[in-house]
Amino acid sequence: MIEARGLTKRYGEKVAVEDLSFTARPGVVTGFLGPNGAGKSTTMRMILGLDRPTRGEVRVNGLRYQDMTDPLCQVGALLEARAVHTGRSARNHLLALAQTHGISARRVDEVIGLAGLTDVAGRRVGGFSLGMGQRLGIASALLGDPATIILDEPVNGLDPEGIRWIRNLLSQLATEGRTVFLSSHLMSEMALVATHLVVVGRGRLIAQTSVADFIAAASPNTVRVRSPQAIPLREALAGHGVTITATGEDTLEITGRTNEEIGEAARACGIALYELTRHQVSLEDAFMDLTRDAVEYHATNAPAPAGASAGRRSAAHAGVAA
């Protein structure tokens, strides 16, 4: 469990993180999202005792990092995959780390296997590819069998097989009851692995919610229906507060009716349906919509539109912090 309360970090005049409170719970993968410069790395560094909060505090498993006697066994972290002694072999690097916490050589070989590094464990880390470095970083994070795992951009440099491996690994770690907290700029990847989100912008909390609610809140309330009898179906569904637009010969876009209502109305009239789909935006679209005002630097050819969009307004209603 990670609990941040009123976490604030200033660098001189610059406020990197401001009054940030959130909880990452055991048993789920929590994605930590935010535009560039939103304060994610600073927050992760404070969780790991690498930066001292200006105000507030953050605890892992109820403890501040600096109060842990066996940090490697409490919280495993991957922040900078390249920050290892490049002259050592992967196994020796892990053995040296293990010795600082009285962790057995057997556990070292276990995590080498888990990370898929068995064939290269004797090779110098200096010759490792970015993907192998990531795997070694993840092996280091898991060495102490910690209840909480924090990973900054864990799929960085991994090939498709490696990405699938880490996706399965993170889900497995959460299923075992661990707290998994990770940042990534790859929204499609985050949508596949995380079930909960903490979203920050300009150092402040924007949202703390499930991925499903985050996407639902940003999605228009539209159902797409395809039927060979679109005209009688349209007549059957017409009513107060219902908008129906024909977008093709056999296709209708409907707002104001649920999937169930449409399905039941079609059945009652003996109308066949070929498709009945609630329109959902991608996590990337929801993220872009919600964080548009929190982006520090916009590309000059894509200025931020003024005012809140419908998506952002509805996101605020779904337990999303203002």
Residue 89, beta-bridge partner list: 124
- Looking at 4, 7, 28, 38, which residue binds ligand ATP (CB under 6 A)? 38
Distance, CA of 196 to CA of 190 (rounded, Å): 10
- Kindly tell me which of 60 and 198 has the beta carbon lying closer to ligand ATP: 198
Q: Which stretch binds ligand ATP (CB under 6 A): 39-47, 207-215, 231-239, 253-261?
A: 39-47
Give least dist CB 307 to ligand ATP, A.
25
- Kindly tell me which of 42 and 219 has the beta carbon lying closer to ligand ATP: 42
DSSP code for 309? -
Give least dist CB 124 to ligand ATP, A.
29
Give least dist CB 16 to ligand ATP, A.
3
DSSP code for 259? H
Closest to 73 in 3D by CA, of 146, 8, 170: 146
Determine if 184 is a binding residue for ligand ATP (CB under 6 A).
no
In the range 53-72, which residues lie near ligand ATP by CB under 6 A? none
Cβ(225)–Cβ(234) below 8 Å = no
Q: Which stretch binds ligand ATP (CB under 6 A): 38-46, 157-165, 208-216, 232-240?
A: 38-46
Cβ neighbors of 168 (< 8 A, separation 6 or more) are none
Give least dist CB 263 to ligand ATP, A.
43
Cβ(28)–Cβ(57) below 8 Å = no
Q: Which amino acid is at 198?
A: V
In the range 6-35, which residues lie near ligand ATP by CB under 6 A? 11, 14, 16, 34
- Kindly tell me which of 7 and 139 has the beta carbon lying closer to ligand ATP: 7
Residue 168, beta-bridge partner list: none
- Kindly tell me which of 32 and 165 has the beta carbon lying closer to ligand ATP: 32
Give least dist CB 195 to ligand ATP, A.
21
What tokens appear for 252 in the block? 């209708």
Distance, CA of 130 to CA of 159 (rounded, Å): 10
Give least dist CB 230 to ligand ATP, A.
46
Label the pairing between strands 2-11 and 14-24.
antiparallel
Burial environment of residue 144 by CB neighbours within 10 A (0 to 12, 13 to 18, 19 or more): buried
DSSP code for 92? H
Q: Which stretch binds ligand ATP (CB under 6 A): 36-44, 135-143, 210-218, 239-247?
A: 36-44
Distance, CA of 291 to CA of 68 (rounded, Å): 35
- Looking at 4, 29, 31, 39, which residue binds ligand ATP (CB under 6 A)? 39
Give least dist CB 298 to ligand ATP, A.
14
Number of residues that bind ligand ATP (CB under 6 A): 11
- Looking at 27, 37, 56, 157, which residue binds ligand ATP (CB under 6 A)? 37
Distance, CA of 46 to CA of 53 (rounded, Å): 6
- Binding residues for ligand ATP, per CB under 6 A? 11, 14, 16, 34, 36-42
